[in-house]
Amino acid sequence: MQDNNYFDNYRKAGDILKIVKEDSRKLVINGYKVVDLAEFIENKIIELGGFPAFPCNISINNVAAHFTPNLNTELVLKTGDYVKVDIGCHIDGCIADTAYTVKVGESDDDLIKATQEALKNAIAVVEPGVKTNYIGKIIEDTIKEFNFNPIKELCGHGLKPYILHSGITIPNYNSNTGSKLKEGDTLAIEPFASTKAGKLKSSEEVYIFKYLQDRPLRDTTSKKLLSVIKQNYKTLPFAERWLEKNHAGLKINFSLRNLIRANSIYPYNVLVDSEGGLVSQAENSLIVTSSGCEVYT
């Protein structure tokens, strides 16, 4: 078990996200540009003393995860859209990760409540010794009580310094086998619910990436960009939009595709419901304590 000071940066990152969540919700309205929402959220995190742990994901309707806008994205929010806002903050690599869903211009309906309740019920059973597949069963049972299906291909995850998905996996269904949580584990639980079967397909679109390794590269511009990526983002995900803003001279789109081919960076392809189902998400980060857990986002 780490001493209490170890967790202070996690808590500070979580406190920042509590403010950002509240402020950003007010902007999830008809006619608001998606890129302006993402920029507001990321800039607010920095203004409050943190750094984005990953690009702000703004996934709408049947898009489940991994969408973040580029600078020239003209997409705007529309009344009735299910908007999933997934945001992360880190302080010295200690990560807070949280998400919420808003139906633009309308109050929360059963699809949104399904993931909110699943998250609440999952958190309620967290304690040392509980198995991750049991948490998954709680999530699945809750979502099915609302007559929706969990998305099994997405899961909650452990959080370690500079590692967004580390070690622990929290499934969104009863996976039958799992590992036991222990005191001091830091993790995010994030149920996803779909109006269809909850199966995903990978889109060809990709706007988020992560550094993997150095590889031999002939193209000097791609080499320079890889160096920028390592220096600025380490092992955490980054957005093409961030590079567009700060390093426009490095042929960003071309260089990123080159780095993917070289297996130097990992592409997070946009994930969509394969049957066009509408998707909701809820997420909080927590620390497992001796008697339960502390939710810090």
Answer yes or no: is 247 a known binding residue. no
Active-site choice (81, 90, 157, 273): 157
Is-catalytic flag, 247?
A: no
Is-catalytic flag, 157?
A: yes
Answer yes or no: is 86 a known binding residue. yes
Is-catalytic flag, 86?
A: yes
Active-site choice (42, 86, 153, 185): 86
Is-catalytic flag, 165?
A: yes
Answer yes or no: is 140 a known binding residue. no
Answer yes or no: is 8 a known binding residue. no
* Separation between Cα atoms, residue 101 and residue 193, nearest integer Å: 11
Is-catalytic flag, 90?
A: no
Do 181 and 132 meet the contact criterion of CB atoms below 8 Å apart? yes
Active-site choice (42, 81, 97, 240): 97
Burial of residue 55, with CB atoms counted within 10 A of its CB: 0-12 exposed, 13-18 middle, 19 or more buried: buried
Active-site choice (81, 117, 153, 283): 283
Is-catalytic flag, 190?
A: yes
* Separation between Cα atoms, residue 175 and residue 195, nearest integer Å: 21
* Separation between Cα atoms, residue 71 and residue 228, nearest integer Å: 19
Answer yes or no: is 36 a known binding residue. no
Active-site choice (110, 165, 247, 294): 165
Query: Which of 13, 31, 151, 32 minimizes the C-alpha distance to 87?
Result: 13
Return the active site residues: 86, 97, 157, 165, 190, 283
Residue ranges for the binding site?
66, 86, 97, 157, 165, 190, 283
| Binding region for substrate | 66, 165
